Amino acid sequence: RAGESLLEYPCDFPLKILGHTRPDFAQTVLAVVKRHAPDFDDATLAMKPSRKGKYLSVTCVINATSRAQLDALYQELCDLPAVVMVL
């Protein structure tokens, strides 16, 4: 059935946000994630700098409740100037 999600909601959904290393990058990403997934536990956020330190990847596992929630979250993250990609 075309257009149907393979995910069953709610579910744990990992997001990896890759962006340019900036002092406020993780805080900015976290603010967006919390807006769309208010129950996200900040303590589970993981950060990893690239080998040369130019980029930073932030991994968040959210409790996804709907496709619309994920679409809106991806869109807002991708609209951030420092974000290179969201996986």
71: enclosing H helix or E strand: helix 67-79
- pLDDT at residue 6 in the model: 75
- Among 59, 7, 62, which Cα is nearest to 35's? 62
- pLDDT at residue 9 in the model: 94
Question: Buried b vs exposed e over 31-70: b needs ≥16 C-beta within 10 Å?
Answer: ebbeebbeebeeeeeeeeeeeeeebbbbebebebeeeebb
The model's pTM is 0.89
Low-confidence ranges of the chain (pLDDT < 50): 1
